[in-house]
Amino acid sequence: MPLKHVQKFVGLGLVLALLAGCATPMPRKDDPLESLNRKVYVFNDFADRVAIRPVAVGYRKITNPTSRTLISNFFANIESPITIANDLLQANFPQAAKATSRLAINSTVGVLGFFDPASEMGIDASATDFGVTLAKWGVPDGPYLVLPLIGSTTLRDVWRLPVDSYFFDPMSIYSRHNDFRFDAQYYPSLLYLVTLRSSAIDAESLLEGVYDPYVFYRDAYRQRRLYQIYRGEPPLEVIQSLQGVNDIDDADKLLEEQEQYEKQQKKKPDEKHPAQQQ
């Protein structure tokens, strides 16, 4: 459903921004659709600034951190069948059992998922999806894509949207099988969208000073997916392939551009200073 697709885009900003503290992705050349992707990226950024983010800011003004955590826990619990189903499709039965136990504990002891006693018991969340399932069975990622109101994905990962939404996502199934006045069946998905974008606001400062946000989002997305596929422990050779450690010239060029950009930003206050003195 449309709202389901949008929520994937707005939640991505937080996840990718947090990766900045984990590692600095190196550039990659395999982006054959970069020209088109950049245009869609600009559109998504505009849509976020004028429509999505203002709503998220309003949500934060009428809630406090505790209530936002409870609501986020609730939606994470609702979405857990996606992880359970894909763990089964990956033939990863221990992880499927673990995710099922989380759902059972948090839905009961955790009062419908508003609380997360499973994590306190050492049963940590490990989300997965149909894109990871395809990767597990050897499907290559294909070209990097930026889709309207969805954001970063690949030709392989984009299939998680229709498959997970149609077969495994309780909110999507609920909205598809109900028809309320004023389209109220979509309200849960809409609120989920708002909570995801609200969470991303905390990480926005991490993107300040980035020379090329498009490259940052692209490389960080690939890194995030790699760690999801390998459950946080990718082989060294795979990491090296992802980061393009052999493309030293490209890496040096990117670092030089970043340094020049930072110098220009430092000069701007100095350029304004004489005028202010007059």
CA angle (100, 118, 135) in 5-degree steps = 50
What letters, b where the CB count within 10 A reaches 16 and e where it falls short, cover 243-268? Answer: bbeeeeeebeebeeeeeeeeeeeeee
Across the chain, how many H-helices and E-strands are there? Answer: 13, 2
The DSSP letter of residue 63 is S
Residues 154 and 257 in one domain: no
Smallest CA-to-CA distance from 17 within 197, 207, 195, 267 is with 207
Tokens encoding 55? 């709503």
Count of CB atoms situated within 10 Å of the CB of 19? 21
Dist. CA 153–CA 8, nearest whole Å: 10
Sign of CA dihedral 41, 219, 128, 167: positive
The DSSP letter of residue 186 is G
Residues 57 and 111 in one domain: yes
Give residue 274's domain range.
248-278
Residues 200 and 257 in one domain: no
Residues 65 and 100 in one domain: yes
Residues 239 and 256 in one domain: no
Q: Which of helix, strand or coil describes residue 146?
A: strand
Element (H, E) at 268: helix 248-277
- What's the residue count for the chain? 278
Residues 179 and 252 in one domain: no
Residues 61 and 79 in one domain: yes
CA-CA distances (angstroms) from residue 183 to 170, 178, 190, 192?
17, 9, 11, 16
Smallest CA-to-CA distance from 186 within 199, 202, 173, 205 is with 173
One digit per residue, the tens of pLDDT, for the chain of length 278 reads: 444 444 444 444 444 444 433 444 444 557 999 999 999 999 999 999 999 999 999 999 999 999 999 999 999 999 999 999 999 999 999 999 999 999 999 999 999 999 999 999 999 999 999 999 999 999 999 999 999 999 999 999 999 999 999 999 999 999 999 999 999 999 999 999 999 999 999 888 877 778 888 998 898 899 889 989 988 877 777 777 766 555 545 555 555 655 665 666 666 555 544 444 44
Residues 57 and 77 in one domain: yes
**Number of domains the chain is built from:** 2
Q: What is the CA radius of gyration of the chain?
A: 21
- pTM of the model as a whole: 0.77
Dist. CA 51–CA 224, nearest whole Å: 27
Residues 47 and 77 in one domain: yes
Residues 161 and 253 in one domain: no
Element (H, E) at 223: helix 213-229
Query: For residue 19, how far is the Cα from the chain centroid?
Result: 10
Residues 195 and 253 in one domain: no
- What pLDDT, on a 0 to 100 scale, did the predictor assign at position 255? 57
CA quadruple 193, 198, 199, 203: dihedral, nearest 10? 130
CA-CA distances (angstroms) from residue 226 to 131, 233, 264?
11, 9, 34
Residues 19 and 107 in one domain: yes
- What pLDDT, on a 0 to 100 scale, did the predictor assign at position 243? 64
